[in-house]
Structure 1
Amino acid sequence: MIDYTALPSLAGVYLEDSYVLEIIECRDRLVFNLDAVLTPEHPAYHSPLPGEHYCYTAASLVFPDVGHVEWVNRSACRFTDATGAMDLGNIDSLTVEGNLYAVEGDWGMVRIQSSPPRIDLKV
């Protein structure tokens, strides 16, 4: 089992402090819409805005070509930040073994059989 930081398609993204805004489950893909933290290694990185510790950007963590999704547990918890924006918490871990991905956070835990995930920045 390996950690997401070893996946080239997720290079330059720090999931543990990214915020999950929405989870969309479709027939052929699973999408986590994020307020994503980019690290200096990411080509779209910029200095953090005043009052922020990280470079945040709107992005989607996309699991394409989904063969199977198994929700181990789900939570309806919502969190509100200082600006009043709501989110589902963070992605605490994302591990991979073959084509099986295990993703866990405040929102629950899901196992996904799919092609490698990717980050799509929203422009």
Structure 2
Amino acid sequence: MYDNYQGLPEFENVCLEDSYVLDITVQPAVLLLRLDLLLPEHPQNRAPLPGERACFRQATVTFSSVRDLHWTGQGVIKPAVGASGTADFGSVDSLTRHDTNYQLLGD
């Protein structure tokens, strides 16, 4: 079975393409993504505060029981630093599931 992330209950009402990856951590059998997550249709959405362009919430996406991880470009990834001084690694361009495997593409 093939699913784009929007069809997965864990990602209901979030927008990964307009969210920011703040950190990526790989541990034995675990992949952690710390995100500044855009919540356009989420129950926790609120009006943006002054200086914000939208409602973001920090979240951690955890992939556990990882048996095989293919990550290209690890040595060349450098964070962008925004005007506020915070660093991010871009966005998640796509997240798809095929049976028990996931494919994650991004900046």
Is TM (by shorter chain) over 0.5?
yes
Identity %: 37
Corresponding residue for residue 96 of structure 1? 97
Taking the aligned partners of 2:100 and 2:49, their CA distance within structure 1 comes to 37
Displacement of 1:99 after TM fit?
A: 0.9
Corresponding residue for residue 12 of structure 2? 11
Corresponding residue for residue 25 of structure 1? 26
Please identify which structure carries the higher strand content. Answer: 1
Query: What is the correspondence of 1:99-114 to structure 2 with a 5 Å cutoff?
Result: 99-106=100-107
Secondary structure at the aligned position of 1:68 is classed as: coil
Displacement of 1:39 after TM fit?
A: 2.0
Displacement of 1:81 after TM fit?
A: 0.9
Deviations 1:45-83 (A, max 9, x none): 222222322211111111122222111333322101111
Q: What residue ranges of structure 1 are gaps of 5+ in the alignment?
A: 107-123
TM-score, normalised to structure 1, is 0.77
Corresponding residue for residue 46 of structure 1? 46
Q: What residue ranges of structure 2 are gaps of 5+ in the alignment?
A: none
Displacement of 1:84 after TM fit?
A: 1.4
**Residues matched between the structures, number:** 105
**CA RMSD across the alignment:** 1.4
TM-score, normalised to structure 2, is 0.87
Corresponding residue for residue 64 of structure 2? 64
Displacement of 1:85 after TM fit?
A: 0.9
Taking the aligned partners of 2:29 and 2:14, their CA distance within structure 1 comes to 24
Displacement of 1:12 after TM fit?
A: 1.6
Taking the aligned partners of 2:65 and 2:55, their CA distance within structure 1 comes to 29
- Paired letter, 1:71: W
